[in-house]
Amino acid sequence: MTDDWELSLADETGRHFARQYGMPPMTGRVVGWLLLCDPAQQTIAELSEALHASRTAVTSAISTLEDWSWVQRSRAAGERVDRVRLDPQIWLRLIDDPAEYDALGALARRGLEAMSGESAERRARMEELVEFTEFLGERMPALAAEWRERLATLRGDRRP
């Protein structure tokens, strides 16, 4: 049985992720539930019951989160259902993904090439984006290393 505070927090997480990242609210609600549920691994049926949502909505949210590599599915020997949990490395991967910055930077550089004959004022936003992606590419590895150290301390060097 879901306590009111649990459902409220999952709902609030859904709204946050919808506002901040454009996720469907159910996708954010699933993230919220997976952040607080016990046990950490849940079946689709358990998620549906806890969130008072249809299995179809939960399954769709899980599929989206799998596409983004936010969740992991597993199945114990002899079980007929998958269990889903947040990927323990999700927060690190959000900052330690140079491909994300490289791709956006490459797009901005192509934009600059296409704008080669345009005014400096018109090119300024694209130039800033190139610099921003280069800045992130330079700084994020150090930030990711700091997070790894902090996470190791938090976990007492234990792994999930």
Residue ending a domain, among 44, 69, 87, is 87
* pLDDT, tens digit (0-9, with 9 covering 90-100), for 104-151: 999 999 999 999 999 999 899 999 999 999 999 999 999 999 999 999
Q: Are residues 74 and 132 in the same domain?
A: no
Q: Does one domain contain both 83 and 97?
A: no
The dihedral through the CA atoms of 22, 27, 33, 36 has a sign that is negative
CA 66 – CA 30 distance, rounded (Å): 12
Considering the domain architecture, whether residues 115 and 73 belong to the same structural domain is answered as no
What is the H or E stretch that residue 45 is in?
helix 44-51
83 domain residue, yes or no? yes
Per-residue pLDDT tens over the stretch 36-71: 999 999 999 999 999 999 999 999 999 999 999 999
Q: State how many domains the chain has.
A: 2
| 45 in a structural domain | yes
3-state secondary structure of 83: strand
Same domain, 13 and 76: yes
Structure tokens at 114: 């296409």
- Asked whether residue 1 carries a pLDDT value surpassing 70, the answer given is no
Tell whether 42 and 103 lie within a shared domain.
no
Last residue of a domain, one of 42, 61, 87: 87
Domain membership of residue 113 as a residue range: 92-155
